[in-house]
Amino acid sequence: MSNAMFDWTCVYRTDNPLEAHIVLGLLTQARLKTHVEGAVLTTALGEVPFCQETIKIFVCAIKVPEAEEILVNYQQNNLSEDWQCRGCSEHNGSGFQYCWHCGKSYDESK
């Protein structure tokens, strides 16, 4: 068995620490072992050159296909605009999959 299958491979990079935590949570929930680089550097914004502020998330090379499937689903489900709930008429931000007020899903409110 090749050791290359267990090398860390970058599957996601972002400058947004909140998005990095969301993606990290999705991968962790799927029981994928992860490695993160650059998360500590975000506290030094403005002091570190922009190219060094990127947060990178790595998984073992053998788990890349599984991680990529999770990331494709995340990006497809990531809403691009605010929406109004049909259940309670509450306005919800684009990051909400469920109405923060009544709990109805975005799909039910289409």
Tell whether 94 and 48 lie within a shared domain: no
pLDDT in tens, 47-68: 555 555 789 999 999 999 999 9
User: Is pLDDT of 46 > 70?
Assistant: no
CB under 8 Å to 102, separation ≥6 — which residues? 85, 87, 88, 90
Tell whether 33 and 67 lie within a shared domain: yes
pTM (predicted TM-score) = 0.61
Tell whether 86 and 39 lie within a shared domain: no
pLDDT in tens, 11-22: 999 888 888 888
- Residues 90-107 have a mean pLDDT of 82
Closest to 82 measured CA to CA, from 93, 73, 90, 67 = 93
Number of domains making up the chain: 2
Q: How confident is the model at residue 69 (pLDDT cuts 50, 70, 90)?
A: very high
Tell whether 60 and 28 lie within a shared domain: yes
Task: Read off the CATH number of the domain in which 8 is found.
Answer: 3.30.70
Q: At what angle do helices 64-77 and 17-29 cross, to 10 degrees?
A: 120
Q: What is the mean pLDDT of the chain?
A: 82
Count the residues in the chain: 110
**105 lies in which domain range?**
81-110
Tell whether 55 and 92 lie within a shared domain: no
Tell whether 62 and 89 lie within a shared domain: no
